[in-house]
Structure 1
């Protein structure tokens, strides 16, 4: 998975189906002629979740280097992540903590509440990060843009 643009990412998955024990004479794969109807039917049967189905492409191929003929059906599925969950649970709370942190610089230095507010903000961000550790995906080849500071 390419997690660089998380949570605004789009993924493409390839699924290839082929029988390893039967030839084309014994097993017939149905051709998918109408790609749009395949995508529309799949979108109607999609459950509510983290991903939105964008497109399904199907193609039939026949490898020529086999002893007996076998067709393969390859499905290329394109899905997009629904980012609203991450905006509500990650981006908005971090933005609120950032506003409170910047506002604390305008407090009078002689007030004892400034230190208490800073410690409370630090603890709140730590608890938020512990909670989000379970929700955010952990496998990626590079750090997502949302986690980069520069």
Structure 2
């Protein structure tokens, strides 16, 4: 094989490997009509739900891209909090909904018989790891 062909093939393979290693999440998100974002702490977020605890860390948010209005966009938020969710206006209710968007490392929603419902969000935890989702039809939210 001529040296030019080998160089082109090598460069192409390296470019593909780079995209595969650095763009997996972005490509996966585009293929599944979702956007994933991460934050180390609550303070790192541009905007956070009022109920999100001040000590929230290791925050991952996955939102669908199909909704036109923010209140209809399916979103799942996974975070760690020792303090837990203690916001005023949140109530415990039987779980009737589940997240539309999956997040790796989220607590098992289907193991919960009840959830904490805060407006249009429902949530449950396993230890200090929490999963919250919207919409939450049947849980008292939108």
Q: TM-score range by the shorter chain?
A: under 0.3
Largest Rg, 1 or 2: 1
- Give the strand-richer structure, 1 or 2: 2
TM-score, normalised by the number of residues in structure 2: 0.22
- Give the helix-richer structure, 1 or 2: 1
TM-score, normalised by the number of residues in structure 1: 0.21
